[in-house]
Structure 1
Amino acid sequence: MRRTLIFLAAAVFSIPVLAMHCPKDMAEIDAMLESNPPSDSEVRERVAELRAEGEALHNAGDHEAAVEALGEALELLETAS
């Protein structure tokens, strides 16, 4: 029972952390696209799609999925540099 309560408390407190992470990731993606965009147009388009998807998921309240989409966009940008 105690473990269940600890797990639930951790889950409740992690949701706001994920929610605050999304805008930071979106700003980082925007800055990277502005300062050093990938030369491959397909990568740029995919990053833009993932960034838009992440923002939509964030606005819908699905922060875990938003962090995943934004993380994938960041990975693409980092490997394209």
Structure 2
Amino acid sequence: MRRLTAFFTAALLSTSALAMHCPADMAKIDELLKSDPPADATVLAQVQALRAEGESLHKAGDHSQSVKVLDEALLLLQGSE
């Protein structure tokens, strides 16, 4: 019984941690787009699309997928420097 309770507690906390990670990633993307947007219009469009998809996934409650998509957007931004 203790293991089951520990498992569910860990699962709940990890979901909460991911949920808090998404807004931070979105803010970081927004700041990078504002301060140093990519010169390549294709990369800019990809980053904006991924940012929007990440926000939609976050709002839908799919935080792990949201983090993956937002990380992809951040990698594109960092690679365009």
TM-score by length of 1: 0.90
Matched, 1:55 2:55: yes
Partners in 2 of 1:3 and 1:36 — Cα distance? 48
Percent identity between the two aligned chains: 54
Partners in 1 of 2:50 and 2:8 — Cα distance? 30
Superposition deviation, residue 12 in structure 1:
1.6
Superposition deviation, residue 8 in structure 1:
3.4
Paired position in structure 2 for 1:80 = 80
After the TM superposition, which residues 1-81 of structure 1 pair with which residues of structure 2 at under 5 Å, given as runs? 5-81=5-81
TM-score by length of 2: 0.90
Partners in 2 of 1:62 and 1:18 — Cα distance? 9
Partners in 2 of 1:55 and 1:19 — Cα distance? 11
The size of the alignment, in residue pairs, is 81
Instruction: Identify unmatched segments of 5+ residues in structure 1.
Output: none
Q: SS of the counterpart of 1:39?
A: coil
* CA RMSD across the alignment: 1.3
Q: SS of the counterpart of 2:18?
A: helix
